Structure 1
Amino acid sequence: MCGLLGFLTADVATDAVVQQVYDALHCGRHRGPDERGTWHDENIILGFNRLSIIDIDNSHQPLFWGPADEPERYALAFNGEVYNYLELRQQLADEFGAEFRTEGDGEAIVAGYHYWGTEVFARLRGMFAFAIWDTRTRRLVLARDPFGIKPLFLATGPNGTAYASEKKSLLELLPALGLSDELDVRALEHYTVLQYVPEPESLHRDVRRLESGCYATLTPGSEPEVNRYFVPTFRVRPFGPGSETKRYEEIADVLSDSVAKHMRADVTVGAFLSGGIDSTAIAALAIRHNPNLLTFTSAFEREGYSEADVAAETAAAIGAKHYIRTVGPEEYAAAIPKIVWYLDDPVADPALVPLYFVAEEARKHVKVVLSGEGSDELFGGYTIYREPLSLKPFEYLPGPLRALAGRLSERIPDGTRGKSLLHRGSLPLEQRYYGNARSFSDAQLRSVLREFRPEWTHQDVTAPIYTRSRGWDPVARMQHLDLFTWLRGDILVKADKMTMANSLELRVPFLDPEVFAIAEQLPYEQKITKETTKYALRRALATIVPPHVLHRPKLGFPVPLRHWLRGPELYDWAAVQIAESQTDHLLDKSAIKAMLEAHRTGPVDHSRRLWTLLVFMVWHGIFVENRIKPDIQEPAYPVRL
């Protein structure tokens, strides 16, 4: 697990630019405090911060590899882990006689690229963002893992292309590239609706992201040419007579294999434990490989908002030593500026804060943790996925009657039972569902955004994705959409950024190509029923997770945000942010202040909308105004556990 930074130029890389890249590496030191490596030739500068996990004493980066006649043809800078690297190394040795100088996973990537070309990307089971520089052809290849677990930002200007794991590193290099740090107002509107900035956008106009499952090739002076190598499809294979037990065994077996491979490390591996079925399954399978497994969870001081008791009961049931990190409202508010700094772009998910603190606690004991992200998208875990069942009667109505139902819903007062059902039932899936987060309606956006353009909608993001899923069942289409939106925009960003802020590697065994290959075949009735979600997964895990967890509803790390914003815990903090933020040209602060007061005094819940705006104000205060200066203490080189 590491941090990347590189600069490709058609001109000769001057000493000044080399020094700028070297200095910009400091912005990502938390991603890899064990080593810092740089290398350059006349066209490229490769920078690297290493968090050493596998082959600690070797596998230094940038890593050089080549065939016998060109032993240092390729230079590799690699962030992440490839869990099937032992199998790939053996296959490359058997088929091509490939030779290796280290015991790590990096050489498997670059040797695979030499012999298989870009086909190697689909053979990798892991999480990764990497750069391979071919010193002979002068070609740079950048690639990102299928699901977007590891980030990679790009900026291309008149003077070259730079890439980085941390956008803040690229911001320091924008002048050298001939680019500006201008805000992307369209991305702001998307963020306000979705509560995250969707790929490939960022809030800076000249900085983009390489999308999940894609690779880019470029040469000095060229624009990146982006291609997609991973195209997820939900190719349903209905259950045949008597096949249920076999399919459930397949799920259990492939997940067990994935966890076993995710346990590969030369350091201690622990696990996050929230009390739900996903993290419990991962921990229960992990303890088979490490009987001394350590597990970690977070809790809040406000009673009734924590899963800590359930997580502790689960840890005892599987035999793990368990740690709980309790977070209070004052500590919560004080941490927000540095958390937003680590994020690079705002993400308005309140669960970021407890995740940061539980990662901080885990890093005192381990260097790697396993977690349960991705299960909901693969196996149908979100309650909203059951909506097609409740709306199915609307499918039998003629178009004019469905439209009438929509018009009737507009006349029903807000808060009236049945209003939302009528409204959503009148809409096709493409219009009513755009992921798990919807912070603002169009009418609410008009009231808070100074520059609201109705042509900039969520459909900018979702329409191309829905086009690829035509003809699928509605649950599969919703899952497919979430793979490209909510999962990689919120879930994986917070997982990566909050753990790496603490120099902790997080691994997600559910997000494995082999696990996906089984999950994508499930018919919707094996995912969603009237009674439950993740039906097939629960059946598959019946003998793996403790009974008290098996049928618990999904809760995650619930945050008492609604309560705190109404009381002294966060109300005063929020009022200060609104008053001091220099965002009047972007936001109607009087409308936001009125929203805060309405939330404080009335029954209406504006907490998620307020949080979306408050997080942006903090982000703007850090990255635009330079008014907020988070207390960031980056680790020194080297740090060893």
Structure 2
Amino acid sequence: MCGIAGFINDFSMEEKHAILTDMTDRIAHRGPDAYGEHVDEHAALGFRRLSIIDLAGGDQPIYNEDKSLCITFNGEIYNYQPLREELLALGHTFRTHADTEVILHGYEQWGTHLLNRLRGMFAFVIWNSKTHELFGARDHFGIKPFYYAQMNGTFMYASEIKALLAHPHFEKELNKKALKPYLTFQYPALRETFFKGVFKLPEGHYFTYKDGQLDIHEYYDEAFEETRQKLDDVVDTIDATVQDSVRAHQIADVEVGSFLSSGVDSSYVAALARPEHTYSIGFGQGSYNESHQAQELAGMIHLNNTSRELTDEEAFSYFPQIQWYMDEPDSNPSCVPLFFLSQLAAKDVKCVLSGEGADELFAGYIDYGVHTRSKAIKKATHLLQMLPESTRQAIGRFAKGKTFHGAMHLYENLAPARENFIGQARVFTCDEADALVTDEYRDAPSVQSIVDAVYDRVEAKTAQKSQKISELKKKQYLDLHQWMPGDILLKADKMTMAHSLELRVPLLDKELMAVAQKVPTRYLISEENTKYAFRKAAARHLPEAWYKREKLGFPVPIRQWLREEKFYTVVRSLFAQDFVREFFDQDALLKMVDDNFAGKTDDRRKIWTVYSFLTWYSIYFLGDGTKPDVQKLA
């Protein structure tokens, strides 16, 4: 796991070296073990290393035999060993045992076809000094970040945006179109980031850059379909593939630990991996602390567990640093405990496993349409799914807005997905966001246009194959291309790398995706639970209380924070600053936080979303973009 940064232009070699050093210094937390660079008359490639595989020989950049190709790489390739053997048999010469060199020689041998042979997480660039072409790619799901910009004749890229800010050709300007969608989604929802002109390379895509021309191409996408598999066969295949993935994700030359919460996903991974160390975290003694259940499970299955309880003061004190590490505002409350959980684990290990991915692959979210505990209503809804499409959609639309029990459940299961589902967060409605922001920030892509583009894509792809998939699988597809790379994976990467910790996600694996995309819809969400088939597989390794437990996420006590005077005062004082008027109706904002504090309303998520943005903006635009000090509370 590492950090990469670089640029293409014709600065002098001396200038390139100085700029590249500054860029990579800003992401030194991603790779404190070593620094490497390639600088020539046209290109500058920089690298910060966190040593995980081939500790002695894996420093980068790495070159091919004639040094015409040079690679810097962030990530891990879990099937690099068989690929290496294949490339050796084809005549390639290796000087390391690192997975990085496998990518380099694989690109020589197979070109872009290499990408679909890789199993892992990655963001890398390969510079061809003969043709002056830069080739780069991001992994299938977007586990590893990759940002790029073209400014003032320079193409620049990095693992984190903060590295780009160090380049003299970088022009820092706020992307005004990003704010309004963020208020609804809670994360940056556009390909163009909050920094105007800075873009994210989409998941499952590669690019080439040559002579000032940037070309981006897709190499991978999920292919959901409906099958008629039997439940026992589905469960067997899921369990076998999860076990294989966990084994693959443990390949390392350092100890691999594991995060452990009270939920089924991380518990399943830890039970299979059986690491020397597991880690848990929570707030206080009540319902916001999952670490007690995690410790209980660790005792039952004989694992070592280290846990700690966070204080509210810690959360608020470090929050500006959390937003700095994130690069862009993200109001997902789980950023906070994940930051401290990573800090805890990094005291012992360099690498941990986690449970991200299972909810998207196997339908674990209640927002996919689980809005009743009544098994009768759930069963009836499953039966109604068998009706012709026009009939079930008409029933779903009829239930919209009705108040009888089960109406929302019927609506969100039977109506078209694009009419009711935008992903796992809906903080402000579009009308609420429009009313709160100032005129200058209202001109932005609508939430519906953002999700429709994804729905259009999946529907077009299934139509090409003369297939139809369920509305539930369309929701999964949307989350895999919005929520997953935009929020879940981004915070996982940034919060762990803040502490020089590599995070691996064995439940978000292309081999497991190949299984998940064929699971019959009826085995995804049943009248019993979400993630039904996945839980059946986990049941072979976990006690019932764990494989059946409803999803909690990382519980964070935002509600009580915003009704406690010392924290309310911190938030309100920020909302009251003069610069806030540029973005928001300040009077409405102050009334929102005051009414919430008084208990008249419960707008905690809205307040936290605005607070996250303003905190981030204060650091990167009112400040100089350097890491802030720990915030002192009165």
TM-score by length of 2: 0.91
Matched, 1:208 2:199: yes
Shift in alpha-carbon separation, 1:106–1:592, aligned structure 2, 3 A:
same
3-state SS, counterpart of residue 213 of structure 2: coil
| Corresponding residue of 1:638 | none
SS in 1 for 2:526: coil
Confirm whether residue 439 of structure 1 aligns to residue 427 of structure 2.
Answer: yes
> Once structures 1 and 2 are overlaid, which stretch shifts more, 563-572 or 545-554?
563-572
Matches within 5 A, 1:297-316: 297-301=280-284, 303-316=286-299
Where do 1:321-336 residues align within 5 Å?
321-336=304-319
Deviation per residue, 1:355-379 (Å, 9 max, x gap): 1001101000111000000000001
State yes or no: 1:244 paired with 2:231. yes
1:266 has 2:253 as partner? yes
Percent of aligned pairs with the same residue?
38
What's 2:590 paired with? 593
CA displacement at 1:294 relative to structure 2:
0.4
Partner Cα separation in structure 1 for residue 290 and residue 396 of structure 2:
41
CA contact (8 A) 1:581 1:621 kept: no
Partner of 1:458: 447
Q: Which residue of 2 aligns with 1:233?
A: 223
Alignment match, 1:364: 347
Match for 1:513 among 484, 494, 510? 510
Aligned counterpart in structure 1 of residue 155 of structure 2, from 156, 161, 182: 161
Quick one: distance in 2 between partners of 1:43 and 1:132?
14
1:343 counterpart residue number = 326
Q: Distance in 2 between matches of 1:419 and 1:629?
A: 50
Question: What is the CA-CA distance between 1:304 and the residue it aligns to?
Answer: 2.2
Distance change in 2, residues 1:575/1:405 (3 Å): same
Residue 554 of structure 1 is aligned with which of 526, 551, 556?
Answer: 551
Number of aligned positions between the proteins: 610
Residues 267, 400 of structure 1: alpha-carbon distance in 2 compared, 3 angstrom cutoff? closer
Indicate conservation of the 8 Å contact 2:16/2:39, yes or no.
no
Preserved CA contact (<8 Å) 2:369 2:413: no
Cα displacement (A) at 1:421: 6.8
CA RMSD in angstroms comes to 2.4
| 1:353 corresponds to | 336
- In 2, Cα distance between equivalents of 1:222 and 1:302: 57
Q: Secondary structure at the match of 1:583?
A: helix
Query: 553, 559, 567: which one pairs with 1:570?
Result: 567
1:438-479 deviations in Å (ceiling 9; x for gaps): 111122112311135376211332112101222320110000
- Are the equivalent residues in 1 in contact too, given 2:369–2:409 (CA < 8 A)? no
Greater CA drift, 156-165 or 420-429: 420-429
TM-superposed deviation, 1:302: 5.2
> What is the match of residue 636 of structure 1?
none
Deviation at 1:552, TM superposition (A): 0.6
Q: Distance in 2 between matches of 1:401 and 1:317?
A: 47
Aligned to 2:7: 7
The partner residue of 2:278 within 295, 299, 302 is: 295
Q: Does the CA-based 8 Å contact 1:325-1:357 persist in structure 2?
A: no
User: Does the CA-based 8 Å contact 1:329-1:569 persist in structure 2?
Assistant: no
Residue in structure 1 matched with residue 418 of structure 2 by the alignment: 430
- Which position in structure 1 is the counterpart of 2:375? none
Deviations 1:510-560 (A, max 9, x none): 111101001110011111012201111111122112332110111121111
Is 2:138 aligned against 1:144? yes
1:75, 1:133 within 8 Å by CA — same for their partners in 2?
Answer: yes
SS in 1 for 2:45: strand
For 2:244, the equivalent position in structure 1 comes to 257
Taking the aligned partners of 1:598 and 1:278, their CA distance within structure 2 comes to 38
Deviation string, structure 1 residues 570-592 (Cα, Å, up to 9, x no partner): 21221122123623111122211
The SS at the match of 1:502 is coil
> CA deviation digits over 1:303-326, x for unaligned, max 9?
222111110011112211111121
Structure 1 residues 527-536 or 300-309, which shifts more? 300-309
Deviation at 1:400, TM superposition (A): 8.8
Aligned to 2:185: 194
Q: In structure 1, what residue type is equivalent to 2:137?
A: A
> Secondary structure, in 3 states, of the residue corresponding to 2:592?
helix
Q: CA 1:302/1:447 → structure 2, altered by over 3 Å: closer, same or farther?
A: farther
| Cross-structure match for 1:24 | 23
Displacement of 1:282 in angstroms is 0.6
| Aligned residue identity for 1:261 | A
Q: Give 1:133's aligned residue.
A: 127
Flag the 1:418–1:313 CA change in 2: closer, same or farther, 3 A.
closer
Answering whether residue 493 of structure 2 is matched by residue 503 of structure 1, we say no
Closer, same or farther: CA 345–225 of 1 in aligned 2, 3 Å = same
Aligned position for 1:171: 165
Partner of 1:469, secondary structure, is: helix
Instruction: Give the 3 Å change call, closer, same or farther, for CA 517–421 of structure 1 in structure 2.
Output: closer
The Cα shift of 1:568 comes to 2.9
Mapped partners of 1:237, 1:432: distance in 2? 25
After superposing the two structures, state which structure 1 stretch, 337-346 or 247-256, moved more: 247-256
The letter for the 1-side match of 2:620 is F
Distance 1:78 1:628, change over 3 A: closer
Quick one: which amino acid aligns to residue 518 of structure 1?
V
Query: Within 1, Cα distance between the matches of 2:393 and 2:365?
Result: 28
2:360 equivalent to 1:377: yes
Give the distance between the partners of 1:222 and 1:629, measured in 2 at CA: 30
DSSP-derived class of the 2:582 partner:
coil
Residues 423/445 of structure 1: CA separation in 2 closer, same or farther (3 Å cut): farther
Change beyond 3 A, Cα 1:399–1:80: closer
Instruction: Give the conservation status (yes or no) of the 8 Å contact 1:302–1:560.
Output: no
What TM-score does the superposition give when structure 1 sets the normalisation length?
0.90
Stretches of structure 1 that go unaligned for 5 or more consecutive residues are 634-641
- 1:573-584 maps to which residues of 2 (within 5 A)? 573-580=570-577, 582-584=579-581
Residue aligning to 2:112? 118
Equivalents in 1 of 2:413, 2:512: separation in Å? Answer: 33
- Partner Cα distance (2:301, 2:208) in 1: 47
User: Structure 2 unaligned runs (5+)?
Assistant: 372-377, 460-467
- Aligned with 1:224: secondary structure? strand
Deviation at 1:247, TM superposition (A): 2.5
CA contact (8 A) 2:181 2:444 kept: no
Counterpart of 2:374 in structure 1 is: none
- Report deviation, 1:182: 1.4
SS at match of 1:39: strand
- Flag the 1:318–1:16 CA change in 2: closer, same or farther, 3 A: same
User: Match of 2:43, as an amino acid?
Assistant: I
The answer for the alignment partner of 1:639 in structure 2 is: none
25-34 vs 380-389, greater mean Cα deviation? 380-389
**Counterpart amino acid of 1:194?**
F
- Tell me the residue number matched to 2:267: 280
Q: 1:132 to 1:627 in 2, by over 3 A?
A: closer
Is residue 248–residue 539 contact of structure 1 (8 Å, CA) maintained in 2? yes
Structure-2 residue corresponding to 1:545:
542
Q: Is the 8 A contact 2:395 2:415 kept in 1?
A: no
CA distance in 1, matches of 2:405, 2:595: 22
